[in-house]
Structure 1
């Protein structure tokens, strides 16, 4: 079921509604009142006054977009050069769009996008870090590299407008937009929320507080937020008495990067002081800088599903949030590292409860001024779906590992909801460094080709493969069995090591 496209939709970023879960009038009034209270407590929540009158949230239907797939402003993620996924947003591009990378281009991947996916005319630019300087986020580098900045400004002047499509809407993104409008006098739309609101939505503690206000405390895993070392230790010891495992989360990180999973047996017969010291040392080992608050959660048992609800939140004048997909996340390791996703096989009744709750949260965010891509992750726990508990884990107020391939499928196929998808995102592998052309050669007979076949493998990024550190693709087929078989075959071929 295709949702009527808003007037400002881009054809390379179609929005396709999976299901309707409208918020009724009474609930709309309650959530709007809650939004007003949040504004009273934080008047600057959606303020963009510093960035000037020519910059705001939105998405121009025409003109060029500037794609910035920079993950470095997420806590613990490292510098842009450490990432493998900067080419990912190329899947959202149309002819004339610009993509900025921190690393060398991959001509083989750009050729693949043209030949197999019909994505061409992309203006790819590099903003390498300067020797001896801090490795700044990409939006700031666009300001520092005068030739790059002037090129973007010239494209704006030629076309009369610009949309910035960031992986994550940050102050650096908005400041780049401000500087571009000052240089050109031309309007810039940012396909994301105001930066302060984006930071809040992505923060696990802030999100948990909104879940409690909207859905009640029962909609969260047993957890506590702590604001200092003594509270961290005391609550960890208390919660350890009723749980074999705990998870300590750094709220402003994402996914598993900021998760420390603990076997509570390490606390047995230990002094409070020694436990406190060990907790701080273990957190420091994953990159924690000593900042509070932290969130402690009991480890969930009897997990039936780990669904992720994919949404597009338009400006509130354009209608309610749109649910585009419900996916089952594939995670690995005790920290729950994202490794891929498939369309969720949850029963309809459980999916209905999930989407209604997600819609209520998204409606609140919309009333606060949120715009753009958003997903919410949850856990369904219990012996069976009937009577199972639904606990919300985190919100991803940004593009991600599911939303980009989902949008690409919406773009490539006329009835995308009829197809099964399996996303594979495996990083930190130990493989030989190889050219991307090698990847194409290994899976050539499996590759999806736009307008010629509707099943196959779509390669999403080249960098991990070229560095010998990962693979990143998704499979598309009519059945779940076929999509799993395609994924296994492609994974085996792409990770096969040469014989000694």
Structure 2
């Protein structure tokens, strides 16, 4: 099966059992449960990204080993390249109350020994023997598959393994694109930056930029984003300061201004240094994108709120983080600080939950995050703008899950703090950019 009607029907049948399987995997009962972890970076263009050590991102989901604290749980963790045994031993050492040897017997770490920059899920689908091996390692009647992100490839693999998939149905993945995010923000009634979405061509882009410039003539820069770029790699900055001679204030005709904008697109600064206008344009036309006003305030912060929509129907806030950013104009995620600043964390949590309600109404399930930009006015008040929804795990997921492994505490949605069983608040800073 490869995405046709038979696969879709099979997937729907498997997903009908997701709520029961998820409750089993997440619960404290003695029942057996098997979890297949597929930490695949299933993003278009993953083979061309310039992220150092991107293959090691597959280790981000090692927090899933915490499920082995249930005595009858079994877990299969699949990777492209072998994980050093010391890393696995360290993660298991964070789980208190269960002997390491006992958990080791219920854990299978399976490597494909394939370092190519092809999404892991596609590699597995190309290896029928690996699929069969995984099927023999699990009990399908109590099994479930969980992933870093969900695409049609993950759906195909879930069907091949005969287990439900914990994550957003690929039919709803458009909600996690840059255009889909702006649609959900408007539907939820949360603040967002001036911009335009559902753009597909140079003409769309030029007309949208021109319209924004006319409406907001003080804007100095604009950011153009591909719909499915990640970690800022699909973004480009258009500097309008070099085009003041044709600005809306200059009295220049729209035709002349739009021609000047079209000529300026190839000069944009691309966040990915290996990107060219030709490669950027090709992907933009293929998948679409958006343009937004660039927020120029010096005192601005990138922050986010993480949510979980359970298959049983609950919607919960599970953390807020201030993001550490680097690269061109702070477009690349480099790490995070928990929790977000007290001055605005409850505000972004409230608005993220509003977005979550919109997504839940459309049928979304799983972990997600809503990203914001926050700025402080002269009077000290903070304003925030929703900029993106990630319908997947992200850079803030594993630090929080590791904290849970180490402390067995809980997130308090009333304060935005994480508390140990003794009520002690916990704080941390985490990075994705440590280099030797």
Pair 1:92-2:61 in alignment: no
- SS of residue matched to 2:130: helix
Task: For 1:209-228, list aligned pairs within 5 A.
Answer: 209-215=183-189, 219-225=191-197, 226-228=199-201
| Equivalent in 211, 221, 226 of residue 250 of structure 1 | 226
Q: Distance in 1 between matches of 2:59 and 2:368?
A: 20
Q: Distance in 2 between matches of 1:234 and 1:212?
A: 21
| Change in 2 beyond 3 A, CA 1:213/1:189 | same
- SS of residue matched to 1:110: helix
Residue matched to 1:230: 203
Q: Structure 1 stretch 221-230 or stretch 237-246: which is displaced more?
A: 237-246
Q: Distance in 2 between matches of 1:211 and 1:337?
A: 22
Residue matched to 1:291: 284
- Given that 1:205 and 1:295 are in contact with CA atoms closer than 8 Å, whether structure 2 keeps it comes out as yes
Q: Structure 1 stretch 291-300 or stretch 356-365: which is displaced more?
A: 291-300
- Given that 1:314 and 1:366 are in contact with CA atoms closer than 8 Å, whether structure 2 keeps it comes out as no
| Change in 2 beyond 3 A, CA 1:281/1:100 | farther
String of CA shifts for 1:401-444, please: whole Å, max 9, x gaps.
11122022123213351110111111xxxxxxxxxxxxxxxxxx
Task: For 1:53-92, list aligned pairs within 5 A.
Answer: 53-56=13-16, 57-58=18-19, 59=22, 60-61=24-25, 62-71=32-41, 73-78=42-47, 82-92=54-64
String of CA shifts for 1:218-262, please: whole Å, max 9, x gaps.
x11111233321232243355454222211111121231111123
Pair 1:260-2:236 in alignment: yes
1:341 Cα shift? 0.7
Q: Distance in 2 between matches of 1:99 and 1:163?
A: 12
- Structure 1 length-normalised TM: 0.66
Q: Distance in 1 between matches of 2:340 and 2:112?
A: 42
Task: For 1:306-385, list aligned pairs within 5 A.
Answer: 306-315=302-311, 317-319=312-314, 321-333=315-327, 334-347=329-342, 350-383=344-377
Residue matched to 1:498: none
Q: Distance in 2 between matches of 1:269 and 1:249?
A: 26
String of CA shifts for 1:303-357, please: whole Å, max 9, x gaps.
4432210111113x443x1111111111112152111111245335x33322221
- Structure 2 length-normalised TM: 0.75
| Equivalent in 400, 415, 431 of residue 424 of structure 1 | 431
| Change in 2 beyond 3 A, CA 1:142/1:77 | closer
1:127 Cα shift? 2.4
- SS of residue matched to 1:346: coil
- Given that 2:224 and 2:291 are in contact with CA atoms closer than 8 Å, whether structure 1 keeps it comes out as yes
Residue matched to 1:170: 151
Q: Pairwise CA RMSD of aligned residues?
A: 2.9
Alignment length (residue pairs): 366
- Given that 1:301 and 1:381 are in contact with CA atoms closer than 8 Å, whether structure 2 keeps it comes out as no
Task: For 1:133-282, list aligned pairs within 5 A.
Answer: 136-157=118-139, 160-181=141-162, 188-197=163-172, 199-215=173-189, 219-225=191-197, 226-237=199-210, 239=212, 241-269=217-245, 272-273=258-259, 275-280=261-266, 282=268
| Change in 2 beyond 3 A, CA 1:106/1:267 | farther
| Change in 2 beyond 3 A, CA 1:237/1:367 | closer
1:153 Cα shift? 0.8
- SS of residue matched to 2:284: coil
Residue matched to 1:101: 79
Gaps in structure 1 of 5+ consecutive residues = 1-46, 182-187, 427-469, 472-494, 496-500
| Change in 2 beyond 3 A, CA 1:211/1:77 | same
| Change in 2 beyond 3 A, CA 1:238/1:193 | closer
